Amino acid sequence: MLYQKFKYSILIIGLLFNLPINAADPQIHMLVDTCIACHGTDGSSVGSATPNIANMREKLFIKAMQDMRSGERPSTVMRVIAKGYTDSEIRIMAQFFSQQQAIPHRQNFDAEKAAKGRQLHNLYCNGCHKIEGKTTKLLSNNLAGQQMPYLRYRLTEFINDSDPTLSPLMKNALKNFIDNNSQDSLENLIHYYASLGGK
Ligand code: HEC
Ligand code: HEC
């Protein structure tokens, strides 16, 4: 018991000094094993409405967990799950998942829509969600190969403005997109992200 506590303190000290997380550490597994059933062993999810969290930026991961825990960001299962974790546990998990490589999902997509989506993405979204070329920003989670049902659900949430914790940058970007195109043309983007899935 004392040993367990000791190991746990070491982890937290490591985190304070930003030492890399050792994925083989049994303490990490005690925390993240709960996530595996839905988000896959290394954060590349299993279910179609469950997002990939592998390689997710630490700050976004922490914000997502805290907002789902408080209920400010609407969620289904995560609302309950996130309640089981303290801020320091969330930080440990954030570091762990940010170091995992994302395996993009292989999904069926419409090639014509994906081609349109690629152009739209480069015009409206690439500045923050980099896929091609250089960007100075890279503020957000990677969308390439993310699950299509999850993307649809999340975008609808933004459009309905049901998530008050959402970054105003993203809110404005989406408003700008819809004003210049249409809500339906978001589907092209979703097919583009699906087209970037694994082989
Ligand atoms: C029962 C399935 C399930 C389990 C177990 C689960 N998740 Fe989730 N997770 C989801 C779903 C579904 C969503 C989408 C939000 C929602 O509806 O709850 C999600 C969303 C998330 C997000 C937000 C991702 C984003 O792109 O914004 C994070 C972060 C996350 N989960 C982390 C975790 C962690 C860490 C654990 C383990 C402690 C975990 N999840 C366990 C199903 C699950
Ligand atoms: C100015 C920067 C910016 C632009 C441009 C932008 N986004 Fe975002 N996006 C963000 C940020 C920041 C977040 C994280 C939001 C949060 O959690 O509060 C985000 C989150 C998202 C998410 C949720 C990801 C997840 O894992 O849950 C999706 C989907 C998304 N953006 C799609 C788009 C699309 C499609 C476009 C182009 C029409 C776009 N974004 C343009 C900054 C931007």
Q: How far is the CA of 79 from the centre of ligand 1 (A)?
A: 9
Distance 50 CA to ligand 1 centre (A): 7
128 contacts 135 by C-beta, under 8 angstroms: yes
Block residue for tokens 């930080």: 91
CATH of domain 2-98: 1.10.760.10
One-letter amino acid at 74 equals: P
Residues 6+ apart with CB under 8 A from 46: 37, 38, 39, 40
Comparing CA positions, the residue from 2, 61, 22 lying closest to residue 11 is: 22
Looking up tokens 């390689």 gives 55
The atom of ligand 1 lying closest to the CA of 60 is: 27
What number does the ligand 2 atom closest to the CA of 63 have?
17
Render each residue's pLDDT in the chain as its tens digit; 199 residues.
Answer: 455 555 555 555 555 555 556 666 778 888 999 998 899 888 888 777 889 899 888 999 999 999 999 999 999 999 999 999 999 999 999 999 999 988 887 889 999 999 999 999 999 999 888 888 765 556 667 788 888 999 999 998 888 888 888 888 888 999 999 999 999 999 999 999 999 986 5
Distance 114 CA to ligand 2 centre (A): 18
> What is the location of CATH 1.10.760.10 in the chain?
2-98, 111-195
The verdict on domain 111-195 having CATH code 1.10.760.10 is yes
Confirm if 43 and 52 have CB atoms less than 8 A apart. Answer: yes
Ligand 2 pocket test: which of 129, 172, 176, 188 has the largest number of ligand atoms within 8 Å of its C-beta? 129
Residue with tokens 């937290």: 12
